[in-house]
């Protein structure tokens, strides 16, 4: 590979790795105005920025054909997470191999004594995370007095993770004349302030145009009832059957709950959040790389620095805080020219806010329905036929076994057994009521089509008892022996909840309640027919302080 401002040692390394052209960000850091200057670079994840800042550093590090002898590091790269730091270190190892560079990695979760010995032995380039680098600096193991160039990779993420103090302490220990390269996908105010303090006459390089940042990602959105979010996740995963999918949640608790639910449904899933140790995190990521797991449930912070080329699907189970967070989450897919899909699951009541956020970010999104169970089964059949149509190479023993089976069993029996075996591990899709046939059960609703003659019942649990339609609905179905489609609107009051049962299902519902056996965890539950005034669409239950407190011991469910 030839470029007038690309050092020969790096050009040879790139050619050996099969590079035939540079990406936009790589070309930009080698532009006429870039050499020797501080840089602020905005580039999307997966755009080749690691190689880009490796190229940009070369003029500061290489003398003649090789890097000079050095006891103290000449180059420093700071990355937000252990995984990203290790990835950067590996990239620089091969990029600078012909120039004789010694690269040392300093990250949490590794033996600090071994890192100190490596630093004492001399390093040209040090790659590390803020916390571990500051620890080595304060202990005197990291000498930054000879530093020529410092790189802050994913600087916005480091500030979001609370590493401002560590970054400032590290940069304050470097020479004033060092060069500073700041790589950040977004430019919030804290990044601008950091650039003003530690950079001089920085050149701004922007390779993420309005469409550049998400042209390889197809954005989709589904509007669902809050009670159906988990079911929508299941059907989206089953419909796409992505090689690797990342599901984003806002809290550790949400990650824990969704991971447990998916595992119970037979999805091969791992979880990443702040409550997981580095060892657990390593095992989870290795399971994704080995394809022992195909789904990763994660918080924003825990997913930073993950680089898995196989990710083709991102699902925003809980909405991101803003458009920048949306793009950074979604950037886990659509990397290095590959296509990816990002799906936002939007509660009905938040659709307008999400539409405004997407318009502001100039992201074109396709609003779709949650895939139905029948659509998923059709997709399964299509995938199965494609898989079986592909040619396979068999060993002699396998060919003989195939002939033996053909002699023993009829073709239809063989095909049926094969289909059953291939479908064994596939989780069942969920039946979700389309939005056109339902109202949001989390709020009071007016009459629904098909529920004109419905009967109202009441249950002795309300907001005071932390009642929620997400657990009321399966409870109603379980004790009343009805389907989800037979349950209409649900109203939550202070001490009670009211719900509709369709006219067709009401007789069987009342009969089932009269025979119901209450599980120990539901002891004290009572379901009964609502009074006539409570069945009125305009009825409003009394305020909590006007309503008498329920008795401690409640009756078993009984039809009135």
What integer is the mean pLDDT of 322-344? 82
Does residue 117 sit in the same domain as residue 234?
no
Does residue 360 sit in the same domain as residue 454?
no
The answer to whether residue 97 sits within a structural domain is yes
pLDDT surpasses 50 at 538: no
Q: What is the pLDDT of residue 436?
A: 46
Does residue 199 sit in the same domain as residue 216?
no
pLDDT surpasses 70 at 255: yes
Q: How many CA atoms lie within 13 A of 128 on its CB side?
A: 31
Do residues 199 and 40 touch, judged by C-beta distance below 8 A?
yes
Q: Compute the C-alpha angle 532/460/538, nearest 5°.
A: 35
The answer to whether residue 414 sits within a structural domain is no
Does residue 273 sit in the same domain as residue 131?
no
Classify the C-alpha dihedral 40-42-45-48 as positive or negative. Answer: negative
CATH number assigned to the domain comprising residue 485: 3.30.70.330
pLDDT surpasses 80 at 459: yes
Q: How far is CA 496 from CA 460, 482, 487, 493, 535, in A?
A: 5, 21, 17, 5, 13
The answer to whether residue 531 sits within a structural domain is yes
CATH number assigned to the domain comprising residue 293: 3.40.50.300
Does residue 443 sit in the same domain as residue 479?
yes
Which pLDDT band holds residue 433 (cuts at 50, 70, 90)? low
Q: How many domains are there within the chain? A: 3
Residue where a domain terminates, one of 326, 359, 374: 374
Look at 95 and 446; give whichever has higher pLDDT: 95
Structure token digits, residue 231: 């079911």
Which pLDDT band holds residue 539 (cuts at 50, 70, 90)? very low
The answer to whether residue 379 sits within a structural domain is no
Task: Please classify residue 170 by burial: count the beta carbons closer than 10 Å to its beta carbon, then call 0-12 exposed, 13-18 middle and 19+ buried.
Answer: buried
The answer to whether residue 559 sits within a structural domain is no
Which pLDDT band holds residue 421 (cuts at 50, 70, 90)? low
Q: Please tell me the distance from the alpha carbon of residue 29 to that of residue 31, in angstroms, as a whole number.
A: 6
Does residue 97 sit in the same domain as residue 198?
yes
What is the edge-to-edge ordering of all strands in the sheet holding 295-299? 269-272, 295-299, 244-249, 311-316, 340-347, 217-224, 365-367
Do residues 308 and 288 touch, judged by C-beta distance below 8 A?
yes
Residue range of the domain that includes 331? 212-374
What integer is the mean pLDDT of 374-402? 79
Helical H segments across 320-440, by residue range: 323-330, 351-360, 373-389, 396-408, 411-423
Percent of the chain with pLDDT over 70: 86
Does residue 37 sit in the same domain as residue 149?
yes
Angle between helices 49-61 and 8-16 (to 10 degrees): 150
Does residue 198 sit in the same domain as residue 240?
no
Convert the pLDDT of each residue in 180-222 to its tens digit: 999 887 777 888 889 999 999 899 988 765 444 456 789 999 9
Q: Please tell me the distance from the alpha carbon of residue 255 to that of residue 260, in angstroms, as a whole number.
A: 8
Does residue 150 sit in the same domain as residue 227?
no
Is 230 in a helix, a strand, or coil? helix
What's 348's DSSP letter? G
pLDDT surpasses 50 at 543: no
Q: What is the pLDDT of residue 555?
A: 44
Q: What is the pLDDT of residue 144?
A: 95
Residue where a domain terminates, one of 145, 178, 206: 206
Residue where a domain terminates, one of 155, 182, 206: 206
Which pLDDT band holds residue 534 (cuts at 50, 70, 90)? low
The answer to whether residue 511 sits within a structural domain is yes
Q: Compute the C-alpha angle 56/59/61, nearest 5°.
A: 100
Taking the alpha carbons at both ends of the chain, their separation in whole angstroms is 83
Q: What is the pLDDT of residue 552?
A: 36
Percent of the chain with pLDDT over 90: 35
Q: What is the pLDDT of residue 556?
A: 47
Q: What is the pLDDT of residue 368?
A: 93
pLDDT surpasses 90 at 400: no
Angle between helices 323-330 and 351-360 (to 10 degrees): 80
Does residue 219 sit in the same domain as residue 322?
yes
As a three-state string, the secondary structure of 284-335 is HHHHHHCCCCCEEEEEHHHHCCCCCCCEEEEEECCCCCCHHHHHHHHCCCCC
Classify the C-alpha dihedral 250-251-254-256 as positive or negative. Answer: positive
Does residue 476 sit in the same domain as residue 355?
no
The answer to whether residue 352 sits within a structural domain is yes
Q: How far is CA 155 from CA 40, 182, 235, 413, in A?
A: 10, 7, 36, 60
pTM of the model: 0.58
Q: Please tell me the distance from the alpha carbon of residue 119 to that of residue 143, in angstroms, as a whole number.
A: 9
Other CB atoms within 10 A of residue 438 CB: 22
What integer is the mean pLDDT of 117-128? 94
Reading phi first (left if > 0) and then psi (alpha if -120 to 50, else beta), residue 106 is in beta
The answer to whether residue 180 sits within a structural domain is yes
Average pLDDT, the chain: 83
Q: What is the pLDDT of residue 33?
A: 86
Convert the pLDDT of each residue in 24-71 to its tens digit: 888 888 888 888 899 999 876 667 889 999 999 998 999 888 889 888
Q: What is the pLDDT of residue 332?
A: 82
Does residue 195 sit in the same domain as residue 271?
no
């Amino acid at each position: 590979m030839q470029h007038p401002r690309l050092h020969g040692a790096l050009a040879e390394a790139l050619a050996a790795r099969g590079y035939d052209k540079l990406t936009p960000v790589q070309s930009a850091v080698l532009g006429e105005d870039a050499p020797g200057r501080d840089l602020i670079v905005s580039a999307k994840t997966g755009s080749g920025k690691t190689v880009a800042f490796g190229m940009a550093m070369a003029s500061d590090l290489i003398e003649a054909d090789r890097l000079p002898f050095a006891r103290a590091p000449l180059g420093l790269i700071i990355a937000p997470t252990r995984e990203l730091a290790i990835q950067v270190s590996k990239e620089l190892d091969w990029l600078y191999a012909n120039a004789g560079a010694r690269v040392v990695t300093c990250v949490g979760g590794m033996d600090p004594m071994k890192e100190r010995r490596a630093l004492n032995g001399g390093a040209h380039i040090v790659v590390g995370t803020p916390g571990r680098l500051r620890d080595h600096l304060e202990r005197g193991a990291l000498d930054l007095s000879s530093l020529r160039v410092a790189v802050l990779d994913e600087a916005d993420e480091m500030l979001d993770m609370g590493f401002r103090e560590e970054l400032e302490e590290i940069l304050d220990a470097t020479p004033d004349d060092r060069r500073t390269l700041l790589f950040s996908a977004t430019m919030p105010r804290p990044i601008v302030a950091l650039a003003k303090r530690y950079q001089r006459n920085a050149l701004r390089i922007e390779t993420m145009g309005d469409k550049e940042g998400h042209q390889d990602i197809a954005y989709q959105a589904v509007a669902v009832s809050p009670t159906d979010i988990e079911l929508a996740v299941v059907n989206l995963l089953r419909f796409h059957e992505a090689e690797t999918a990342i599901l984003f949640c806002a809290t550790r608790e949400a990650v824990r709950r969704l991971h447990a639910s998916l595992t119970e449904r037979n999805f091969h899933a791992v979880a990443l959040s702040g409550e997981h140790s580095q060892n657990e995190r390593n095992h989870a990521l290795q399971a994704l790389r080995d394809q022992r797991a195909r789904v990763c449930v994660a918080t924003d912070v825990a997913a930073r620095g993950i680089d898995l080329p196989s990710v083709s699907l991102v699902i925003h189970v809980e909405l991101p805080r803003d458009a920048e967070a949306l793009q950074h989450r979604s950037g886990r897919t659509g990397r290095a020219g590959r296509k990816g899909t990002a799906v936002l699951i939007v509660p009905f009541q938040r659709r307008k806010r999400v539409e405004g956020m997407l318009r502001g970010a100039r992201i074109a999104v396709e609003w779709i329905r949650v895939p139905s169970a029948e659509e998923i089964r059709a997709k399964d059949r299509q995938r199965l036929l494609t898989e079986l149509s592909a040619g396979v190479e068999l060993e002699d023993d396998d060919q003989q076994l195939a002939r033996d089976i053909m002699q023993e069993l009829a073709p239809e029996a063989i095909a049926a057994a094969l289909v059953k075996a291939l479908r064994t591990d596939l989780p069942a899709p969920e039946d979700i009521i389309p939005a056109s046939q339902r109202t949001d059960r989390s709020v009071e609703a007016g009459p629904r089509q098909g529920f004109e003659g419905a009967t109202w019942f009441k249950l002795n649990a309300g907001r005071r008892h932390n009642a929620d339609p997400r657990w009321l609905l399966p409870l109603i179905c379980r004790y009343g022996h009805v389907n989800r489609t037979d349950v209409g609107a649900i109203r939550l009051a202070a001490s009670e909840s009211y719900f509709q049962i369709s006219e067709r299902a009401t007789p069987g519902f009342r009969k089932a309640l009269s025979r119901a056996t209450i599980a120990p965890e539901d002891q004290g539950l009572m379901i009964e027919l609502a009074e006539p005034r409570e069945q009125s669409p305009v009825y409003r239950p009394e305020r909590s302080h006007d309503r008498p407190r329920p008795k401690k011991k409640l009756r078993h469910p009984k039809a009135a």
